[in-house]
Chain A
């Protein structure tokens, strides 16, 4: 089985981002960047399949500027075999990303695509689903468990208030949710070895995909500021305030 995982370079989840003064987006200059946490879970799942002997090859792809090589290197250090950088300076919107992934799936003859359910920067939750529509591959989204069988993969999905288990015929798409696994740390010896693993660079053009933008961001707003807390003098006062001011009890 040949597995493709996508890794997106996003602002580190722990960085407190600030909205730019012109509201066109968030300030990313000098911000710490990292692999999107859901993509990290996808990489972990893929290398576990490889360790179990269920996958022969794991390919990590990232779409973005040359800086995204850093995230591919991390995926390689974690255990992916080779990388593909689809280099572009343009914003990678979901439909273009899905089309690029489709082109790679076809070119490489991929059996299983593992993607994060969403990236924490734009929170779209669209690529896996769009890729399913474009390729006609079945999809198991929001996976908290994935077990490959003979020509199939059984995926347990997180759904509102419970779980749903579906069986997909390969080739298939799985998108990861938080509980799927706990990603490992990249070991230093593996980071060193990963330097020798190949990364191919291609352009969207070469894959026949246009990066044409279909969505325009009109404005980004920070969440409303929380008002300061207060101290109450007694339990009675607390209950009174909860009842009559906050009206929560």
Chain B
């Protein structure tokens, strides 16, 4: 799609105002900067306008107009994305769902809730709680991210080991395709064997196939007394032994890990207490449902096994809900704590069994290439997913830093490829990982992706330049 001239710009803005009402179109500098970016820092926001539709009809109207006048749309949710998927830096029109933020329906028998895409993840979690139920997809940005954004990225988070990704909870979807048609997918059915399930194409498509305009989500039972163990672990190999040991006997709802430097940053920045005095290279955070008297004893026995085997050095267990929450903060506050160092983030995954070997290779590589950079490791290790964060030294400018990191990323991703892993486990491809897509997907598969894109978005209106380029 070619760059849009000044004259075209004012024409587009005028038509948008006509069709959607003046108060739904923003063009002030603040709005443009705010809505033109997500959590990534590498791109300069430069949208043409921001549109805030109030209902599905307006969305359909908008996409049809975009097709007619040939201007690009960038869907935007809570803009907590970590791969630039919601970035608008090429005079695109941003479609923000902030005003479509109602929970529309709830059915206690189906245990399903229907919501508009702009509902904040945490708002849905609270709604579920009020119904005596639970929405299990959770992560540190749940207070800002939107359900539409979660669906578009197939968000994962800290409970995946037990509850799966967002995909698992989507029972129905309404999407407006790139050609401006409204599709209603699956309609809340548990079983439906009638051909292709397009729902799953739209989940995780990062706004490149359609705009998510309504989501039906399943809810589940509230877990009983989620109890947190925090263990000091000797090394990565031990971490996986601990995982195996605990998973063999307990149903875990989380298995996370982080490194000592990560812990130090959080403790000093957030004024939190160290869990215990023992220092070790890594820490594992394990959550399980303490749903019967013997559960805790079992966890203690497993801890003893790990202690005797020399995998863990020390540990603690939450004695109250408050303690469980503060222990979780040691893991959950890492992203936010290190964000002031403009970290270069990698969100990579391999099969769980390959994790220790893979990580030690990555660690070798990264420490050899960046002897002077501080490396922070954390992530959803129980899912084979680690976040590798490289902190920017204060005296280095952002551009040079990112270039240096970018170079080594190629080598990291070569390793990912060798281990048949993924260059983006849960943060999506967006702009940030576009150049590396081929490390995880073979050319034939990418060609099919492009063909699918053509079917739903023939004019390339939706989020152009994200995930892959179409010539």
Contact = CB atoms under 8 A, between A and B. Distances in A.
A191 B320 contact: no
A156 B307 CA distance: 42
Nearest to B313: A189
A187 B318 CA distance: 10
B276 interface: yes
Given A32-B225, A192-B300, A192-B304, A185 B323 contact: yes
Interface residues of B, number: 24
Interface string A183-200: 011111101100000000
A239 B339 CA distance: 36
A184 B314 contact: no
B320 A187 contact: no
Interface in A174-220: 182, 184-189, 191-192
B165 to A, nearest CB: 28
Nearest to B277: A187
Interface string A97-125: 00000000000000000000000000000
B320 A34 contact: yes
Contacts of B316: 185-188
Contacts of A6: none
- Most chain-B Cβ atoms within 10 A of its Cβ — which of A34, A74, A185? A185
Contact of B300 (A12, A14, A35, A188): A188
Given A13-B322, A14-B322, A189 B314 contact: yes
Contact of B314 (A34, A35, A188): A188
Nearest to B231: A188
B319 interface: yes
A71 to B, nearest CB: 9
A15 interface: yes
Nearest to B312: A188
Contacts of A37: 322
A189 B300 CA distance: 9
22 contacts: A13-B321, A13-B322, A14-B321, A32-B225, A34-B322, A35-B320, A185-B230, A185-B276, A185-B316, A185-B323, A186-B316, A186-B317, A186-B319, A187-B276, A188-B231, A188-B300, A188-B303, A188-B307, A188-B315, A188-B317, A189-B315, A192-B304
Given A187-B276, A188-B300, A191-B300, A34 B319 contact: yes
B34 interface: no
A12 B322 contact: yes
Contacts of B323: 185
Contacts of B230: 185
Contacts of B224: 30
A185 B228 CA distance: 12
Nearest to B226: A32
A15 B315 CA distance: 25
B223 to A, nearest CB: 12
A184 B273 contact: yes
Contacts of B325: 14
Given A188-B229, A189-B307, A34 B276 contact: no
Interface in A141-159: none
B321 A191 contact: no
Contacts of B314: 187-189
B52 to A, nearest CB: 14
Contacts of A32: 225, 320-321
Contacts of A187: 276, 314-316
A102 B55 CA distance: 69
B54 to A, nearest CB: 14
Contact of B317 (A13, A30, A34, A191): A191
Interface in A1-34: 12-15, 30, 32, 34
Contact of A182 (B273, B276, B300, B317): B273
A188 B318 CA distance: 10
A184 B314 CA distance: 14
B275 interface: yes
B119 to A, nearest CB: 16
A185 B275 contact: yes
Contact of A13 (B303, B304, B315, B320): B320
Nearest to A16: B129
A42 to B, nearest CB: 15
A24 B273 CA distance: 39
A35 B319 CA distance: 8
